[in-house]
Structure 1
Amino acid sequence: MVEGLGKIFHSISCKSEAEGRSVAGTLHFNAAPDAQTLYNAMKGLGTDEQAIIDVLTKRSNVQRQEIAKSFKAQFGKDLIESLKSELSGNFERLIVALMYPPFKYDAKELYDAMKGVGTRESVIIEILASRTKAQIKEIIKAYKEAYGSDLEQDIKSETSGYLEQILVCLLQGERDNATLYVDTALALQDAEALYAAGEKIRGTDEIQFITILCKRSATHLMKVFEEYQKLAGKSIEDSIKSETRGSLEDAMLAIVKCTRNIRCYFAERLYNALKGAGTDDGTLIRVLVSRSEVDLNLIKPEFQRIAGKPLSTMISEDTSGDYKTALMNLCGSD
């Protein structure tokens, strides 16, 4: 019976995974002709951008890695370097992003967020709050391999105070694995501890918030949030907003949002990247690239609910040229 249930859950999760992908790759895949197409698109004067878009936005990440290997074997050149030398601007940024394996791409985004003057805390928060503990382990490894540097040390040197503590806590990957069973007594105890640490006192015991948010599983936290609402008469989000400020508030809210509904969290990130004057291209590219083979199709209905219009419409209104064409391919129809 248990084994049968396991099979049912597995098939349900596989189905929702397949439904979630906006990019699934091609069935009759052959890396060699794809590599040849890319080589032809870049050789000589001028570049055939459309050919590059047609190949790279319609292959899965695993297939893109095979194309890069074949490109190197056939032409003795590194595909990423070749693309960088032929393309420019946001179009280059997007196409190059597609060429990185997921964990290496997350590591690169974290590195880029910390190098140079100033730190883009929102990028670090987004990645660390939304990845599983297994994924975080792989990102730490990929970061070390790519940059010869320790991700935790780099985050410590770029951040301080409670923000540093919450990010380092997330990096430890100590969040419990989600299980169907929730210890109601412990959830109530956690809710009481959060209430005592925030609403009940003048000032806030941030460490208590950080510990519970970073170490408990999503299913457990959902119960904690429910109990908290009963105790405080307001949501955990409202309490965080009234008790904290700045990047610490952003980090705590990101954890809560990813716990409640990760698709809604990414829909909000995309909406904030596209609304108003100017576009946050970094966030737009990162979310589309990192979620296109995970759950982008399930993020789109959440986006429409928040924005009142489809994601593809807003991308179309905000971008242009080859960059727009490539983004629209990744997004797929709404």
Structure 2
Amino acid sequence: MGNRGTVTEASGFNPEEDAQKIYNAMKGPWVCVLSVLFQKQTNTVFSCSKSHYFKMPIQELLDCLKSELTGNFEMIVVGLMMPAPVYDAYELKNAIKGAGTEEACLIDILASRSKAEIKEIIATYKKEHGKSLEDDVCGDTSGMFQRVLVSLLTAGRDESTKVDEAQAVQDAKDIYEAGEAHWGTDEVKFLTVLCVRNRNHLLRVFQEYQKISGRDIEDSIKREMSGCLEDAFLAIVKCMKNKPAFFAERLYKSMKGLGTTDSVLIRIMVARAEIDMLDIKAEFLKMYGKTLHSFIKGDTSGDYRKILLELCGGEK
């Protein structure tokens, strides 16, 4: 499957030249970085501007950007300057540090990344922040929620396509007996299956679970659990079923109603623009009957809106 991002390489792409233009823009009084990022008729490659093309360390680049930009626009531009694993590590660090923890960020990233991506995030986190990501997660979370996150961090999921029919039936029974058929819930059984089995196998488990229980696995998780643990297991299930639909739902919820959860909106738009934004847009339209473009346009303003709409990649 090819690239399904809205951000693709533009013709005449010259990373060093474009990076220098952005650097010069930052050095001036306030020359809008946006005009440099979007100077081409075709989609601009944001990776042209990422730190490895600058002759400066990433932290110096970020400090330079932060001195020139503010608010949500700053958050997006800073994110676009980072390679994917650096951005994920940066977001995880921000979710953990300080008072309280942004559990939604931990769930969004750790439940949706592949085994290879998780390993790269862990290595990058150590390099960029000098600490173990697992230690930091353990220091800021507790209980079964912590155990789920640690399990995801061990990157032990089988990534083959093999389905063991007998095991799938047993897994479905184990989950049913640990939840719906059990007084109280044995979350360890859910963890053992949901954090380890491969996607094809889990899709078969979910089918078998529906037969046994008469309910969708998501409905059972909602009935049996609550809080961050419920959110984590639901995220895993949804990502296994349809990852673009999971992100479409997260984007919708970040914008519907009063106010916007900008941290979620920014994180997903930046992280998925070069990967599967086309698929996310298609799922958004299918699920909500409106385009992602129209939602963003109606919920944001100014340069913040312009850069989000560019990442969205058009009305359709």
Query: Could you tell me the TM-score, scaled by structure 1's length?
Result: 0.89
Q: Distance in 1 between matches of 2:27 and 2:113?
A: 39
| Map of 1:294 onto structure 2 | 275
Aligned pairs for 1:38-187 within 5 A: 38-54=22-38, 58-65=43-50, 68-72=51-55, 78-179=60-161, 181-187=162-168
**Structural mapping, 1:248-263, within 5 Å:** 248-263=229-244
Larger deviation, residues 274-283 vs 20-29: 20-29
Question: Structure 1: 5+ residue runs without aligned partners?
Answer: 1-12
More displaced stretch, 300-309 vs 137-146: 300-309
1:21–1:294 CA contact under 8 A, matched in 2: yes
Residue 36 of structure 1, CA deviation: 3.5
SS state at 2:9 partner: coil
Kindly provide the amino acid, as one letter, of the partner of residue 289 in structure 1.
Answer: V
Distance between the aligned counterparts of 2:78 and 2:169, measured in 1? 47
- Identity of aligned pairs, percent? 49
Asked if the contact 1:53/1:326 (under 8 Å) is kept, the reply is no
Deviation of 1:72 (Å): 2.5
Alpha-carbon shift at residue 84 of structure 1 (Å): 1.5
- 1:304 CA displacement: 1.4
State the Cα RMSD in Å.
Answer: 1.8
Structure richer in helix, relative to its length: 1
User: How much does 1:38 deviate?
Assistant: 1.8
Instruction: Report the counterpart of residue 304 of structure 1 in structure 2.
Output: 285
Q: Helix, strand or coil for the counterpart of 2:111?
A: helix
Aligned 1:267-278 pairs, distance under 5 A: 267-278=248-259
Q: Give 3-state SS (helix, strand or coil) of 1:130's partner.
A: coil
Shift of 1:201: 1.1
**SS of residue in 1 equivalent to 2:296:** helix
Deviations, residues 34-56 of structure 1 (Å, cap 9, x unaligned): 13422442333232344244269
In the alignment, structure 2 segments of 5+ residues that lack a partner are none
For the 8 Å contact 1:47–1:86, the answer to whether it is kept is no
Q: Secondary structure at the match of 1:72?
A: coil
* Corresponding residue number in structure 1 for 2:210: 229
Change beyond 3 A, Cα 1:55–1:80:
farther
Letter in 1 for 2:160: A
Paired with 2:114 and 2:39, the residues of 1 have a C-alpha distance of 30
Tell me, what secondary structure is at the counterpart of 1:116?
coil
**1:176 is paired with a residue of what secondary structure?**
coil
Mapped partners of 1:254, 1:22: distance in 2: 24
**Structure 1 residue 178: Cα displacement:** 3.2
Are 1:71 and 1:78, in contact at CA under 8 Å, matched by a contact in 2?
no
Partners of 1:50 and 1:232 lie apart in 2 by 53
What residue number does 1:207 align with?
Answer: 188
